[in-house]
A and B are shown apart, each in its own frame.
Chain A
Amino acid sequence: MTTGRDRIRLRKPTASSVALDLTFLALVGLSVFGFFAIDTKGLKTGPAAAKLLSDLVKMFAHPVAKHFSLAEAIWAMLLTLGLAFLTTLLGAFLAIILSSFAAKNLSKPAVSNALKLLVAFVRAVPTILWVLIFAIGAGLGSVAAVVGMTFHSFAYLLKAYSESFEEVGGDVVEALKASGANWTQIVCQAVVPSSMSYIVSWTFMRFEINFANAVAMGAAAGAGGIGYELFMASGFYFNIGEVGFITYLILFVAILLELGAMRLKARQHVQR
């Protein structure tokens, strides 16, 4: 029996707690090192921060559109949404074709693993680099932007679709296999229909991400749209009011999309 005089230990280190501590230690250590190591080229942070503060106040309090009309801004926004839509469509199309080969319960392990390796590579290349690589052949513009952005959409949706196939399809696949249905019948008649609400919800969430990406490609890869206007307002005209106007516009659409995604997600929970 332990008495009050003994030291009673509350916990012993385990592999998991040590790994966790080391992870945090490494991350924090790298950050502290970074604060000394990165080269800020002698930027005076005080005045820059003061300017930033006044910029933030100005842009959110006095948004103005100087170099374009409201109609032009809306058109630019539609262009950006169009890029996001085409990207999502292409990505979803490719992903839905291949996801039944990536799902463990519908495919052979070798095929499924090969696809996962491909996806890991596709995801490792930043979207902007995919776009610029395609711009070598197609030139900077909507084609390079959409095709380049499609890569990450495809990778994201392939993972999402195949996982919902694995989750939803489990019993259905077994039942249909037992009744003698062939692979195509199982996929088209059972697996895809029963995971339709997942597919819609994941695809819309990707559309939300693609919207932000399309803004970025407009700014950095000449894809046009609202991102390009943003790039011009900040990098060319140095007009903070105009940056504010565009930011409000982007924020408005992004929040609408987020609300939409949330509603789809909620509906999916009800259906399950």
Chain B
Amino acid sequence: MTSIIEVRRMFRRREAIALASFALLAVLTLGSSIITSFDWPSCLRSFPKAFSWLAANFIPNGKALANAPKILARLAETVLVSVMATVVAAALAFLMALLGSKTTRPHPVASGLVRLVASLCRNIPVVAWAMIFLLSFGQNVLTGLLALFIGTFGFLTRAFMETVDESAESSVEALWASGAPWAATVMQAVVPSVMPQVASWMLYMVETNIRDATLVGILTGTGIGFLFDLYYKSLNFSSAAFVVICIVAVVILIEAGSNALRRVIL
């Protein structure tokens, strides 16, 4: 019977694909381990050490609490920088998204240009932008702000373009068919349709930027990242752990807040 033969063949082909994928993964794993000199036993050993460190330092002692005002001030700075980068980037990204999205673009060339710039900003990692700006702005809070701004701009431009195309395409078509001008169409049809999504993306980026700002802060000597690095290198582990606790608290607070908000506005 041909059908049974076919079924058998299908199963055999599936097995072959599975086997080939497995072999490929094994080879890649081996190769990666060699190139990065990755030591698997030490990988396993690192877990108990890291968690016992967390457990030992998780409850802040007097030394850590004495540093609390300094830590909170730095944390506030980091949060502010994240919000500023997000807001300015979002405003610019929204304008670019209007020029770039299929629905509202005034000309295909504008759209192509916007996509190119956004792709450049997004595909060069934030850390690379930070290293670039470090040479002109030095160890300064503006270095991190600029780097976060560029990365956020690239990400949000793409996100907003997709949002505009998804949620405003049909109403824009209707308004253009009725002879409405471009600006009025954007303000009356696009803006009200996309605002909830825009707010949601912005809250997401604030949260992401706080984490990225920590990393950039270590490289540029600013914000909460700098303080963690300082305590960490001077082996003041209880204070370092307290910094981690503060960041976790802020990020979880923001995440919970934005989840609640999303439920109301979406």
A interface residues (Cβ-Cβ under 8 A, vs B): 15-16, 19-20, 23-24, 27-28, 30-31, 33-35, 37-41, 43, 45, 48-49, 51-52, 55-56, 59, 75, 78-79, 81-83, 85-86, 89, 120-121, 123-129, 132-134, 136-138, 141-144, 146-147, 212, 215-216, 219-220, 224-225, 227, 230-231, 233-235, 238, 240, 243, 246-247, 250-251, 254-255, 258
Contacts and interface: CB of A to CB of B under 8 A. Distances in A.
Contact of A51 (B136, B211, B228): B136
Contacts of A48: 136-138, 142
Nearest to B86: A27
Given A43-B137, A137-B45, A143-B46, A250 B215 contact: no
A38 B80 contact: yes
Contacts of B32: 81-83, 85-86
A55 B211 contact: no
A19 B265 contact: yes
A48 B145 CA distance: 14
Contacts of B210: 126
Q: Which are the 7 A-B pairs with shortest beta-carbon distances? A: A137-B49, A82-B32, A234-B131, A138-B46, A52-B136, A254-B123, A212-B125
Contacts of B199: 20, 23-24
29 contacts: A23-B261, A27-B86, A38-B80, A38-B141, A39-B141, A51-B135, A55-B135, A56-B132, A79-B35, A82-B35, A121-B252, A126-B210, A127-B211, A128-B214, A129-B244, A132-B228, A136-B49, A137-B50, A142-B36, A142-B37, A142-B39, A143-B39, A147-B43, A212-B126, A216-B125, A216-B215, A243-B131, A254-B124, A254-B125
Interface in B91-150: 119-120, 123-128, 131-138, 140-142, 145
A143 B77 contact: no
A138 B42 contact: yes
Nearest to A49: B136
Given A33-B80, A85-B32, A124-B255, A52 B127 contact: no
A82 B31 contact: yes
Nearest to A131: B215
A247 B37 CA distance: 24
B45 A138 contact: yes
B54 interface: yes
B124 A247 contact: yes
Given A86-B36, A143-B38, A134 B46 contact: yes
Among B35, B237, B251, find the residue whose CB has the most chain A CB atoms closer than 10 A: B35
Interface centre among B42, B86, B237, B255 (most CB of A within 10 A): B42
Interface string B73-100: 0000100110110111000000000000
B264 interface: yes
B265 A125 contact: no
A62 to B, nearest CB: 14
Interface of B: 25, 28-29, 31-33, 35-39, 42-43, 45-50, 53-54, 77, 80-81, 83-84, 86-88, 119-120, 123-128, 131-138, 140-142, 145, 195-196, 199, 202-203, 206, 210-212, 214-215, 218-219, 225, 228, 232, 237, 244, 247-248, 251-252, 255, 261, 264-265
A30 B83 contact: yes
A40 B141 contact: yes
A207 B37 CA distance: 20
B214 A27 contact: no
B84 to A, nearest CB: 4
A79 B33 CA distance: 9
B225 A128 contact: yes
Contacts of A225: 36
B219 A124 contact: no
B122 to A, nearest CB: 8
Nearest to A24: B199
A271 to B, nearest CB: 15
B255 A27 contact: no
A234 B134 contact: yes
A126 B211 contact: yes
Given A121-B248, A126-B211, A230-B131, A37 B42 contact: no
B49 A126 contact: no
Given A23-B265, A251-B123, A255-B119, A128 B50 contact: no
A37 B80 CA distance: 9
Contact of B33 (A86, A129, A141): A86
A258 to B, nearest CB: 6
Nearest to B138: A43
B138 A146 contact: no
A31 B261 CA distance: 19
Contacts of A243: 131-132, 135
Contacts of B145: 38
Contact of A219 (B87, B127, B261): B127
A146 B43 contact: yes
